[in-house]
Amino acid sequence: MDNQLISFTEENYLKIIYLLTERHNGNEVSTNQLAEHTQTKAASVSDMLRKLAEKSYINYRKYQGVRLTEAGEQIALGVIRKHRLWEVFLVEKLGFGWDEIHDIAEQLEHIDSKELTKRLDDFLGNPQFDPHGDPIPDSKGKMPSVSYQKLSEISLNQSVVMMGVSVHSPAFLQHLDKQQITLGCDLKVLEISDFDKSYDLLLNDEIRLFVSNEVARNLLVQISST
Amino acid sequence: MDNQLISFTEENYLKIIYLLTERHNGNEVSTNQLAEHTQTKAASVSDMLRKLAEKSYINYRKYQGVRLTEAGEQIALGVIRKHRLWEVFLVEKLGFGWDEIHDIAEQLEHIDSKELTKRLDDFLGNPQFDPHGDPIPDSKGKMPSVSYQKLSEISLNQSVVMMGVSVHSPAFLQHLDKQQITLGCDLKVLEISDFDKSYDLLLNDEIRLFVSNEVARNLLVQISST
DNA sequence: ACAAAATTTTAGACTAATCTAAAAATATAT
DNA sequence: ATATATTTTTAGATTAGTCTAAAATTTTGT
Ligand SMILES: [Mn+2]
Ligand SMILES: [Mn+2]
Ligand SMILES: [Mn+2]
Ligand SMILES: [Mn+2]
């Protein structure tokens, strides 16, 4: 609609390169990592990287991994913006659970209409974060910077607010639902078990809760400002 | 998401076959007509028809045109249902004009999630008609039957309600906007010019309006029940 | 009824995205 | 340091959807 030049598939590659680069703190993304996340084989990734490099969306030196160019990053951020806005829509307007929305957003993120994205953003009240706590890039392609810590890095008896998750699998999110751990809830680490490094938590200053170390490492929190 | 078996492109062919069959009152659709509406060439259409016939979505005798099978019709109706629901969303929730939504809905109609369609339908209040007055098939794949007449077939001084349009081009819709002819408005034919067969109308029992014969032939109306 | 015109199908080719298998480059481990 | 393992790229095919040009079929007009 707004541009014909970039395919669905190319958008997906650029988005995944962005997210993996972010996860690796700015380091190059490898062919095998991309193959895993695109559900294809390394050979297919190599082909696509050659093509994306030709179009100047990535910087690519054979065998050395890839990094997005400014142009590529802008496309990636546009896709991520749409993905996260649609996730907000699905949860806030249609009443989906945060564990049900990702695959639908994977499709909606490719709908091509600047005007639609703008109106959707306004309709949702210009949200800054998606239902998983991930920041939503603005219409200029700027990603809000956030600095969260893992719950597993927080000292004992420190009150924190739950701000996000670093794993988005339905299984993990449903697990949190069952324990009543939601975005914005209050958490305090009371004790870490010597036996299995599991966590004894206080939820919202009321409820005792036990979670595995695995859970604690995938909860993103912020020191309470109050 | 809900099924992997049918491609974006196949969905479009089935949808267009349905709409053209409807427009031709149930007669077979020809290869050239499909080529025109799919923006491809007759040769490409022939290939696709062979494929769709193989999958039993259409009945196809070479050189004799095509008709949907029950299976094909159900897929077409599902796509049309999504198209029209999204159009309602775009107008009612996002404030788009009825002339701006078709191309966006062309993309959204392929989003594959039964649950999304169901929730969207509920969110919109289970609408029966889209912003152009076209009926929305129900979740069982049943198209509501409507019987409208062209304004050009209505006798003089008969009060009618504007129910739909038989052309959906932005230019036509914007033309109607300028004349303040909207879905649900009241119309009465006061006179038809001998010179150019243009129409002298009374809009909402108040406003005198002159429209071309072309406009009158593309307005769908119903005799007022009051 | 039959020639000419129009429509439709087939043949053969192209592009995007993918695959497997083999070759090349890099990383690792003694 | 050098052999081995791992990763990445290349070579060669495949599939979906499209195209142009040519052949086949149907429709039209006299
Ligand atoms: Mn997601
Ligand atoms: Mn998310
Ligand atoms: Mn439409
Ligand atoms: Mn419509």
B192, two tokens: 């038809």
Q: Which nucleotide is nearest to B49 (CA to C1')?
A: C9
Dist CA B137 CA B145 (whole Å): 9
Instruction: Flag whether A165 is in a domain.
Output: yes
pLDDT attached to residue B30: 97
Joined together, the tokens standing for residue A141 give: 């392609």
From A47, A71, A95, give the residue that closes a domain.
Answer: A71
Q: Do A136 and B33 contact (CB within 8 A), yes or no?
A: no
Average pLDDT over residues B83-109: 98
Domain finish residue from B38, B55, B71: B71
Whether the per-residue pLDDT at A87 is higher than 60: the answer is: yes
Is residue A78 assigned to a domain?
Answer: no
If you average pLDDT over residues B80-85, what whole number do you get?
98
Beta carbons of B220 and B150 less than 8 angstroms apart: yes
Percent of all residues in chain A with a pLDDT value above 90, rounded to a whole number: 96
Residue A134 domain-assigned? no
Question: For residue range B38-62, what is the model confidence (pLDDT) as tens digits?
Answer: 999 999 999 999 999 999 999 999 9
**Domain of residue B20, residue span:** 8-71
* Inter-chain touch A111–B103, beta carbons under 8 Å: no
Q: Which residues numbered 26-85 in chain A sit less than 7 A from strand D, measured from CB?
A: 30-33, 42-43, 45-47, 49-50, 60, 62-63, 65
What's the CATH number where A172 sits? 2.30.30.90
The answer to whether the CB of A57 falls within 8 A of the CB of A9 is no
Rounded distance in angstroms from the CA atom of residue A11 to the C1' atom of nucleotide C17: 14
User: Is the pLDDT at A113 greater than 80, yes or no?
Assistant: yes
Residue A127 within any structural domain of the chain: no
* Amino acid code (one letter) for A17: I
Helix (H/G/I), strand (E/B), else coil: B95: coil
Question: Where does the pLDDT of residue B2 fall: very low under 50, low under 70, confident under 90, or very high at 90 and above?
Answer: low
Contact predicate A112/B107, CB 8 Å: yes
Query: CA angle B48-B50-B52, nearest 5°?
Result: 65
* A41-71: b (≥16 Cβ within 10 Å) or e: eeeebeebbebbbeeebbebeeeebbbbbee
Q: Name every chain B residue with its beta carbon within 8 A of the beta carbon of A123.
A: 93-94
Q: Is A81 domain-assigned?
A: no
Residue B28 is classified by DSSP as P
Q: Do B1 and A116 touch (CB under 8 A)?
A: no
| Nearest residue: Cα versus C1' of C21 | A43
pLDDT of residue A3: 52
What does the pLDDT average to over A165-178?
Answer: 97
Look at residues A71, A90, A106 and tell me which one is the last residue of a structural domain.
Answer: A71
In a domain, A176, yes or no: yes
- pLDDT score of A2: 55
- Is there a domain that residue B86 lies in? no
Strand C neighbours with CB under 7 A?
A: A 7-10, 38-41, 43-44, 47-48, 51, 62-63; B 30-33, 42-43, 45-47, 49-50, 60, 62-65
> How many domains does one find in chain A?
2
Nearest Cβ partner of B116 from A1, A104, A116?
A: A104
The answer on pLDDT for B145 being more than 80 is yes
Residue A51 inside a domain? The answer is yes
Tokens representing residue B48 in the block: 């696709």
Greatest alpha-carbon span in chain A: 58
Binned at pLDDT 50, 70 and 90, residue B99 comes out as very high
Tens digits of residue pLDDT in A134-152: 999 999 999 999 999 999 9
pLDDT in tens, B8-19: 999 999 999 999
Torsion B173-B177-B181-B184 (CA) sign: positive
What pTM, to 2 d.p., does this model score?
0.94
